[in-house]
Every structure is written in C-alpha cells, then in structure tokens.
C-alpha cells in the first residue's frame, strides 16, 4: 500500500444520501478521510469516478460551480445513487 505523504488539504468525505442499495455497503452518515494517495474505504468505482475532482480539490483548486471548501459528488451508479460531501481543511502541523 502506498504511503500517504500528507500533502495538500485534509479531505473528509461524508455520505449524505443513499438512494437504493449500495453494493459497497456505504450508508448515510459514514465518514472517512480520502486523498489522492488513499481511497480511505471509498468504493473503487466511486473513487475512480471522482479522482480528477479530488485531485483538484485536495491541492487547493476549484471549479466555477464549487463554492468554498465543500463539494458534493455522486457515484456513477444512477440506480443506487450514493452522494458524498467532501470538506477540505488545512492540515495541522505536528
């Protein structure tokens, strides 16, 4: 497993909704840390789909339709839609 070097913003993912049945077991309220080096338990299909947005978000970038330090993204399974909110914050110095 790759070692996360702890660069960029800290990103916390929270499952905000699940419509249908998530085959990966994600449930509303679940929280975990994700980064470009570590999917943190996020479903591989979902992680693959959001990676470009995560990369931009983790390293301080933004898109015109993003506002502030939180964004919502949805998994590619439209029939069993899982939506997560990513919140970024500066890393704390040790």
Is residue 57 included in any domain, yes or no? yes
Tell me the residue range of the domain where 49 lies. 10-89
For residue 89, which of 38, 13, 26 has the smallest C-alpha distance?
13
Q: At residue 77, does pLDDT exceed 70?
A: yes
Is residue 55 included in any domain, yes or no? yes
Is residue 5 included in any domain, yes or no? no
Task: Give the Cα separation of 9 and 48 in Å (integer).
Answer: 19
Q: For the chain, what percentages of helix, strand and coil (3-state, to nearest 5) are there?
A: 20, 30, 50
Is residue 2 included in any domain, yes or no? no
Is residue 3 included in any domain, yes or no? no
To the question of pTM greater than 0.75 for the whole model, the response is yes
Is residue 1 included in any domain, yes or no? no
- pLDDT grade for 3, boundaries at 50, 70 and 90: confident
* Beta-carbon contacts of residue 31 (< 8 Å; ≥ 6 apart): 12, 13, 14, 15
Number of domains in the chain: 1
Is residue 26 included in any domain, yes or no? yes
CA 69 to chain centre: 12
């Amino acid at each position: 497993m790759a070692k996360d070097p702890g660069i960029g913003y800290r990103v916390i993912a929270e499952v905000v909704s699940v419509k249908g049945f998530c085959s990966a077991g994600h449930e509303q309220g679940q929280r975990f840390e994700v980064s470009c080096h570590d999917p943190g338990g996020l479903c591989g299909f979902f992680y693959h789909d959001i990676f470009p947005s995560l990369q931009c978000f983790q390293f301080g970038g933004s898109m015109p339709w993003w506002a502030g330090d939180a964004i919502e993204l949805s998994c590619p399974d439209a029939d069993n839609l899982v939506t997560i909110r990513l919140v970024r914050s500066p890393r704390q110095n040790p």
